[in-house]
Amino acid sequence: MRGRSCSHRMADESAPGRPGSEIARCTAMPIDQGLQNASMGATENMDLKPGSRWSSQVCDTEVVIVRAPASAVSLECGGHPMVAQGGDRASGLALDPAFAGGALIGKRFADADSGLELLVTKAGAGSLAIDGTVLPLKEAKPLPSSD
């Protein structure tokens, strides 16, 4: 797992969610928040291989991995690590209001640093993030149908 400073991502205008809450998180939380999340247990050895499917622990969001990250990252939704689809959800978790921007079905998200790309296959109330940083939407211009 890598730790990453919040300022690293604050300039990322394409990130959905609220910049204000990001700043608040930066001042209120240690830089290595992502690392702490990871050490909470559920994300040890998160194998984000292409085609693998993951569910949020705190909302309906489901995603499929399109491109694997080059380095180990913790994939989160609604402020908590995602779990392999069909896997157990921890009890007592609640949606973190700082990560409640929502995920729309069919949308792609990508992290330029790690190369991770995923697709939302079921909509939910949580925002997708890795290591505590909200993932930016990958804008795709639809191509004319050719088949």
Partner 1 sequence: MHLSTLLEIAADAMGDRVAVAACEDGDLTYRGLLSRSGAVARHLSSRGDERLVAVDVNSEAVPVGLFASALAGIPYVPVNYRLADAQLVAILERAAPGLAVVEQSVPARLGHGIAGLSTISRSEFLSSDGPEPSSPRSDDLEDTAVLLFTSGTTGEPKAAVLRHRHLTSYVMETVEFMGADPDDAALVSVPPYHIAGIAAVLTSIWSGRRLVYLPQFSAESWVDRAASEGITHAMVVPTMLGRILEVLVEREETLPALRHLSYGGGRMPIALVERALDQLPHVGLVNAYGLTETSSTIAVLGPEDHREAVASDEPAVRIRLGSVGRPLPNLEVEIRDPFGAAVPAGTHGEIWVRGDQVSGEYVGRGPSLSADGWLATNDGGWLDPDGYLFVEGRLDDVIVRGGENLSPGEIEDVLLAHPAVADCAVIGIPDDQWGEAVAAVVVLVDDGGADAAALRSWVAERLRSTRAPEYIEFRTELPYSETGKLLRRVLKGELRPPAGRTA
- For binding to partner 1 (CB under 8 A), which residues are involved? 50-51, 53, 62, 64, 66, 105-106, 119, 121-122, 140-147
Nearer to partner 1, 67 or 89 (CB): 67
Distance in Å, CB of 10 to partner 1, minimum: 28
Q: What is the DSSP string of the chain?
A: -----THHHHT-TT--S-HHHHHHHHHHS-TTHHHHHHHTSTTTT----TT-EEE-SSSS-EEEEEE--SS---EEETTEE-EETTSPPPTT----GGG-S-B-TT-EEE-TTT--EEEEEE-BSSPEEETTEEPPB---PPPPP--
Nearer to partner 1, 64 or 125 (CB): 64
Ramachandran angles phi, psi of 112, nearest 5°: -65, -35
Distance in Å, CB of 63 to partner 1, minimum: 10
Nearer to partner 1, 62 or 131 (CB): 62
Distance in Å, CB of 144 to partner 1, minimum: 4
Nearer to partner 1, 51 or 92 (CB): 51
Distance in Å, CB of 145 to partner 1, minimum: 5
